[in-house]
Amino acid sequence: MEKLRKLSPFRLDSLLRLQKDPKLALQIFLNPNERSVPNPKPFRYSLRSYDIIITKLGGAKMFDEMERVVQKLKQETRFVPKEIIFCNVITFYGRARLPNLALRTFDQMPSFGCQRTVKSVNTLLNALLACREFEKMGEVFVGIEEHAAPDACTYNILINACCRCNDLGGAWNVFDEMLKKRIRPNVVTFGTLINGLCVNFKLSEALRLKEDMERVFRVKPNGFVYSSLIKGLCKADELNLAFKVKDEMLKRRLEFDLSVYPSLISALFKVGRKGDVNGLLEEIKQNGCKPDIMTYNAMIYGFCQDENFDAAFGILSEMENKGCKPDIISYNVIIGGLCRVRNLTEANDLFEDMPRRKCAPDVVTYRILFDGLHDGMQLKEASLILDEMIFKGYSPHAASVMRFVDRVCQGDNLKLMRTVLNSLGSGNLIDADTWRMVVPVVCKIDRLSIAYKLVDTLVIQ
C-alpha cells in the first residue's frame, strides 16, 4: 500500500481555502497528518492557516469552534498573531450581536502578544455600533488614548452612532472635536452627517453642508451623499428640488445609483405625476441599466394606491418578461391593495396563484389576507386562512385575532366558532381574553350540548 504523503503547511493553506464546508475544514486543520505517519510530530501551522480557518468558522457562526482555534493560536511560539485576525473575530461577534464577546476578544489581545492599534479600536467601535451598545462605545472611546490616537474612521463611527440615536447635536459636537484635533473629515464623514440630517428632515442644513464640503473642505460629494439628499427631499415632498439634485448627480457622471429611482417614482405617484414615471424608466435605460426589483415595486405600490390594479398586474407581467422575478413584496403590495378596496376574490385568487408563480406566501401575506377577509365579513374564508397560517407555523397579530373572534361571536355561529377555537388552540393562541369573549356567547345560546363542547374545546386547548 502506498504511503500517504506528509502534508506541508503550504498545502494545508490550499486545502483549507478550497474546502467550502467549515466543519470539514476544521477537521482538516486539527488533524493535518493524522493518517500519514503512525506518530506524527506536532504540525507547524502557518499564520495563514489560522486566518483561513478562523474566517471560515466565524462566517459560519461556529463560535465555540472558532474560540478553540483562537486559544490554540496562543500556544504558537514561532510567530505573533496579526491584529487583523482579532479584528475579524471582533467583526464576527458584532454581526452576531454578541457585544460582550467582542469586548472580551479586544481585551485578550495583549495576552497573545498582539499590540492594539486604532484599527482594532475602530473595529470594536463598529461592532458595538452594530449591537447598538452606545454607552459601551463611549467607554471605549474615553480610553482610546491608551492604545492609539483616534483617526477619521473613529470619528465617522461616532458620528454614525449619534445619527442612529437621532442625536444630531451630539453628531455636530463630534464633528467639531474632529476639526479641533486637526483631523480632516472625508466623504464618509459628510455622507454620514448629511444622511442623518435628511432622515430627520433637516434638509436645509443638509444642502448647506453639501455646499460646504465642496467649497470649504474641498471634498467632492459621492453617490451616497446625493442619494441621501434625493431620498430626503422626496419624503419631504420637495420633488422639484429632488429632481434638480438628481440631474446634478448625473451631470457629474458619478456611478449610476438605481436606489434613488424608487423614491422618485413613489414621490411622483404621491403628487399625481405618474405620467412622468416613464421618463425615469427611459433615463435608467439610457444609463445602461435595467429597472431593478425596488423600482418595479415602487411602481406597483403607486398603481395600487391609485387603485389601478390592471396596471399593477401589468407591471408583474413586464417584470417576468424582462427577467426580473417579482418578489414577496410585489405580491403582498397587490394583495394588500385589493383587500383595502374589498376586492377579496381577486386577492384570494392571487394568493392561491403565488406557488405557481414560484413565490410562496410568507407570514405577512397570510396576515394581510386574513385581516382583509374578516374585515370584509368573509368569516368562513378567513377561518380557512387562519387555520392554514397556524398550520404553517405563522402567528396572526393578537389584535387581529381579537377582532375576528368578536365578529364570529356576533354571528352566533357555533360551528364556525368551534372551528376557529380549534385552529387557535392548535397554535396555543387562546388566552384569557378569548375566554371572556366566547363564554358569554355560548351561555346565552340555548343549545347546551354544543355549548358544552365549545367549553370543552377551550379547556382542552
**DSSP, residue by residue, 317-331:** HHHHHTT----HHHH
pLDDT at 37: 56
pTM: 0.80
Residue 373 located in a structural domain? yes
Residue 406: pLDDT over 60: yes
C-alpha cell at 328: 414577496
Residue 334 located in a structural domain? no
Residue 457: pLDDT over 70: no
Inter-helix orientation angle 223-235/260-270, to 10°: 20
Contact 116, 147 (CB under 8 A): yes
Q: What average pLDDT does the segment 51-74 reach?
A: 94
DSSP secondary structure letters along 183-205: PPP-HHHHHHHHHHHHHTT-HHH
Q: What average pLDDT does the segment 155-184 reach?
A: 94
SS3 121: helix
pLDDT at 1: 36
pLDDT at 14: 86
Give the integer Cα–Cα distance in Å for 23 and 351.
40
Residue located via cell numbers 391593495: 337
End-to-end CA distance of the chain: 66
Angle at 316 between CA 311 and CA 322, to 5 degrees: 120
Q: What percent of the chain clears pLDDT 90, i.e. is strictly above it?
A: 62
Residue 32 located in a structural domain? no
Residue 455: pLDDT over 60: no
Where helices occur in 376-431 by DSSP H, the ranges are: 379-391, 398-410, 414-426
Min mean pLDDT across 79-88, 141-150, 275-284 is at: 141-150
CA distances to 313, 403, 444 from 414, rounded to whole Å, are 39, 17, 12
Where helices occur in 131-202 by DSSP H, the ranges are: 134-142, 152-164, 168-180, 187-199
Min mean pLDDT across 205-214, 248-257, 360-369 is at: 248-257
Angle at 164 between CA 226 and CA 147, to 5 degrees: 105
* Number of neighbouring beta carbons within 10 Å of residue 432: 7
Residue 81 located in a structural domain? no
The half-sphere exposure of 442 on its side-chain side, counting CA atoms within 13 A, is 23
SS3 364: helix
Q: What percent of the chain clears pLDDT 70, i.e. is strictly above it?
A: 91
Catalogue the long-range contacts made by 141-146 (C-beta closer than 8 Å, 24 or more residues apart): 144/118
pLDDT at 3: 47
**Total tally of structural domains belonging to the chain:** 1
All residues at 6 or more sequence positions from 36 whose CB lies less than 8 Å from its CB, including other chains: 3, 4, 5, 6, 7
Domain that holds residue 413: 362-461
Residue 401 located in a structural domain? yes
Residue 369 located in a structural domain? yes
C-alpha cell at 115: 499590540
Question: Helices then strands (H, E): number in the chain?
Answer: 26, 0
Give the integer Cα–Cα distance in Å for 56 and 60.
6
Residue 63: pLDDT over 70: yes
pLDDT at 2: 43
Distance of CA 374 to the CA centre of its chain: 31
Contact 293, 323 (CB under 8 A): no
The half-sphere exposure of 2 on its side-chain side, counting CA atoms within 13 A, is 3
Residue 56: pLDDT over 80: yes
Min mean pLDDT across 54-63, 266-275, 307-316, 440-449 is at: 440-449
Quick one: 378 exposed, middle or buried, by C-beta within 10 A (0-12, 13-18, 19+)? Answer: middle
C-alpha cell at 450: 354544543
Residue 368 located in a structural domain? yes
pLDDT at 7: 73
Please, what's the b/e burial string for 251-279 (b: 16 or more CB within 10 A of its CB; e: otherwise)? Answer: eeebebbeebbbbbbbbbbeeeebeebee
Averaged pLDDT of the chain:
88
> Where residue 193 falls among pLDDT bands split at 50, 70, 90?
very high
Contact 373, 387 (CB under 8 A): no
Give the closest residue to 76 by CA, choosing from 118, 48, 116, 34: 48
C-alpha cell at 293: 426589483
Q: What average pLDDT does the segment 180-196 reach?
A: 95
